[in-house]
């Protein structure tokens, strides 16, 4: 699962996110070894339904909450990344797991499912900008820095679920744990029982928000490690004194929400409830009324009284779906600008139809596999997360 990292140009990155071009520095690509149906094909829905019916119980389709509606309609289960991976593992009779999400999610499904099951990602270019901000070679170099300073033995690595299998494997090899946005506090509580400091990967905002707002740390207890700078851009004293070493990574969707967005919606909509994901910036989270994972956001909106107004800071596909599902409430996107997860949206109906029809024809395409050594150590870190107290009942977060 390792690859040589080449810093892409701004233009190349922009084109890739827009669905044009490819990323030759990784295993991902955009070419399909066959004919991709045209988006204008009026029979796409019927073709997807027919292919899925022909495969029957051999196929299990997973749809992430941020996925397009045209794809979600064919999902057997919807949910966040970890829930979907566990759902796949709970279907041992399904030979094919078609994961309508992004690359790291499909990796997690491959790690948790049996060797007999094949995990398929309809478009290999459906990646995650946050996960790609932590490359194994960079993290290993950072660990070398901590080792040279004599603090690595006191440091516990914790990685967010939104990370590559390589990073999960690194964390497992070094006695760490994986976390989700729901159980980040429990994971950090456990980590600080093992050591005196944490290297938190790859989302700086989730790490900072959890440490400061839920655990009582100060902002001064947190330092930001930039892998593109010598020693992360930090002095030895800063690294030695820090309790939370936050990786310089973020979600391209949640990171765009600003304090101005919150202030603007409060001025426009009196009495509005601001509900955001903990991947948002610290100043946005502290200004919000409610903060929680994607599942928490869905449950909060569902339980809200009729007539209430909600400005939601998360991916637009989900916000639109919530608004349609709850017409008795005023539900709006926190930011005035449209903000889809561009890489998640690479998986569209043509790619799903193509993948399913190839399976019907007996051809397995776009299979995601994690090498056994990486999978073993990643599973160690995932199992440690599952062993956390209260792992099955993640608490909501409010501020």
The two tokens of residue 305 are 């009284």
* pLDDT in the model for residue 19: 44
Classify domain 135-250 by CATH architecture.
Answer: 3-Layer(aba) Sandwich (3.40)
Over the stretch 326-350, which tens digit does the pLDDT of each residue have?
999 999 999 877 667 777 778 999 9
Answer yes or no: is pLDDT of 391 > 80: no
* pLDDT in the model for residue 33: 58
Residue 366 in contact with residue 120, Cβ under 8 Å? yes
Answer yes or no: is pLDDT of 32 > 80: no
- The full DSSP string for 196-254 is SEEEEES-HHHHHHIIIIIT---GGGEEEE-TTSGGGG--HHHHHH-SEEEES---TTG
Reference 165, options 391, 4, 368, 384; nearest CA is: 368
328 half-sphere exposure, CB direction, 13 A CA radius = 6
* pLDDT in the model for residue 67: 84
Can you say how many angstroms the Cα of residue 304 is from the centroid of all Cα atoms in its chain? Answer: 26
279 labeled part of a ligand binding site: yes
* pLDDT in the model for residue 38: 81
Percent of the residues in the chain that have a pLDDT greater than 70, as a whole number: 88
96 labeled part of a ligand binding site: no
228 half-sphere exposure, CB direction, 13 A CA radius = 6
162 labeled part of a ligand binding site: yes
278 labeled part of a ligand binding site: yes
Over the stretch 351-376, which tens digit does the pLDDT of each residue have?
999 999 999 999 999 999 999 999 99
Answer yes or no: is pLDDT of 173 > 50: yes
366 labeled part of a ligand binding site: no
Beta strands in the chain (DSSP E): 59-64, 77-79, 96-100, 118-120, 155-160, 177-179, 197-201, 222-225, 244-247, 273-276, 290-291, 309-313, 330-333, 367-368, 397-398
Cis status of the peptide bond prior to 61, with omega within 30 of 0 = no
- CATH fold match for the domains 38-130+344-371 and 254-343: yes
The two tokens of residue 47 are 């073709």
The CA distance from 317 to 342, in Å, is 11
The CA distance from 345 to 332, in Å, is 20
251 labeled part of a ligand binding site: yes
* pLDDT in the model for residue 85: 81
- Comparing 22 with 70, the larger pLDDT belongs to 70
Q: Domain 38-130+344-371 carries which CATH code?
A: 3.40.50.10800
Tell me how far apart the 2 most distant CA atoms of the chain are, in Å: 63
Over the stretch 93-117, which tens digit does the pLDDT of each residue have?
999 999 998 899 899 999 999 999 9
Reference 244, options 201, 291, 287; nearest CA is: 201
* pLDDT in the model for residue 31: 54
The two tokens of residue 243 are 């309790």
Can you say how many angstroms the Cα of residue 374 is from the centroid of all Cα atoms in its chain? Answer: 19
160 labeled part of a ligand binding site: yes
CATH class of 254-343: alpha beta
128 labeled part of a ligand binding site: yes
3-class state of residue 14 by DSSP: helix
244 labeled part of a ligand binding site: no
Q: Domain residue spans in the chain? A: 38-130+344-371, 135-250, 254-343
Phi then psi for 365, rounded to 5 degrees? -115, 155
């Amino acid at each position: 699962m390792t690859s040589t990292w080449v810093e892409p140009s701004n233009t190349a990155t922009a084109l890739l996110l827009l669905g044009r071009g490819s990323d030759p520095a990784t295993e991902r690509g955009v070419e399909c070894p066959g004919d991709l149906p045209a988006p204008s094909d009026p029979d796409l829905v019927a073709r997807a339904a027919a292919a899925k019916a022909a495969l029957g119980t051999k196929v299990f389709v997973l749809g992430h909450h941020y996925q397009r509606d045209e794809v979600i309609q064919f999902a057997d289960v919807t949910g966040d990344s970890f829930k979907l991976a566990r759902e796949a593992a709970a279907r041992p009779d399904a030979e094919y797991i078609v994961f309508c999400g992004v690359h790291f999610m499909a990796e997690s499904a491959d790690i948790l499912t049996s060797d007999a099951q094949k995990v398929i990602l309809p478009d290999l270019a459906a990646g995650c900008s946050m996960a790609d901000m932590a490359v194994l070679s960079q993290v290993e170099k950072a660990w070398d820095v901590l080792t040279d300073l004599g603090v690595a033995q006191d440091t516990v690595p914790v990685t967010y679920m939104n990370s590559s299998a390589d990073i999960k494997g690194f964390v497992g090899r070094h006695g760490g744990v994986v976390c989700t946005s729901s159980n980040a506090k429990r994971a950090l509580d456990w980590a600080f029982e093992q050591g005196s400091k944490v290297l938190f990967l790859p989302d700086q905002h989730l790490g900072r928000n959890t440490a400061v707002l839920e655990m009582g740390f100060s902002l001064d207890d947190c330092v930001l490690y930039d892998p593109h700078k010598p020693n992360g851009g930090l002095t030895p004293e800063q690294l030695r004194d820090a309790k939370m070493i936050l990786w310089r990574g973020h979600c391209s969707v949640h990171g765009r929400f600003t304090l101005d967005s919150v202030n603007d919606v409060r001025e426009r909509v009196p009495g509005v409830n601001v509900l955001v994901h903990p991947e948002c910036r610290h100043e946005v989270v502290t200004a919000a009324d409610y903060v929680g994972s994607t599942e928490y956001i869905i449950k909060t909106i569902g339980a809200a009284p009729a007539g209430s107004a909600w400005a939601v800071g998360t991916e637009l596909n989900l916000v639109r779906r919530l608004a349609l599902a709850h017409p008795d409430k005023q539900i709006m996107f926190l930011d005035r600008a449209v903000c889809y997860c561009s890489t998640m949206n690479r998986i569209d109906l043509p790619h799903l139809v193509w993948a399913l029809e190839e399976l019907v024809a007996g051809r397995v395409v776009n299979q995601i596999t994690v090498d056994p050594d990486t999978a073993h150590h990643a599973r160690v870190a995932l199992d440690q997360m599952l062993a956390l107290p209260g792992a099955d009942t993640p608490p909501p977060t409010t501020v």
